[in-house]
Amino acid sequence: MLDDQALMQALNSTPVVDDRRQDLWGDDHDVDRWAREHGGLGGDEERRWLRTARDALQAVEWGASAEPDLGRVLAGVRKVPQVGASGVEWHLEVEPGRRLAVELVLAWADVKERMPGRLRPCGNPECRLFLLDRSRANTARWCSMKTCGNRLKARRHQARVRESDRP
């Protein structure tokens, strides 16, 4: 099963670099590499499902509706309990090419349940990244204080200085 880190890698695979949106999963080899690192097989079908799941999850986190796409990813999937030496384990029943995309959606649902309100877009409107706020007060606003946080604070400071310089 995918963890929080894998979820964040997937959600943050479309960063803005030099004011242009990039797609780190735009190249098939990069998606296949990510998939294999997380127990996938690679290949056309898996890439299509992963991109669909990622795009739908990003849309939901940005406040748009993505029910049809999420519904397609999860259609017919079953979690089946199996009793083993260590207790009950849950196994997904889904075709291999869609399994990793389903795990991605389930990882997202798990984070939303365990950490409500902690997964959100960066507070910088020019940024396309997401953050998982692990602070005690749940007050993190930026994907990175070094980049987005400092940039926005510097802009606000410059605006205040310009305002105070006016007669």
Residues 15-43 have pLDDT tens digits of 988 889 999 999 999 999 999 999 999 99
For residue 93, what are the CA distances in angstroms to 68, 70, 100, 135?
A: 20, 17, 12, 36
What is the pTM (predicted TM-score) of this model?
A: 0.86
List the beta strands (DSSP E) in 98-165. Answer: 119-121, 130-132
Domains of the chain, by residue range, sit at 4-165
The rounded distance, in Å, linking the Cα atoms of 24 and 9 is 10
Task: For domain 4-165, give the CATH number.
Answer: 1.10.3300.10
Residues 136-166 have pLDDT tens digits of 899 888 887 766 755 655 556 566 666 666 6
Q: State the residue for tokens 């099963």.
A: 1
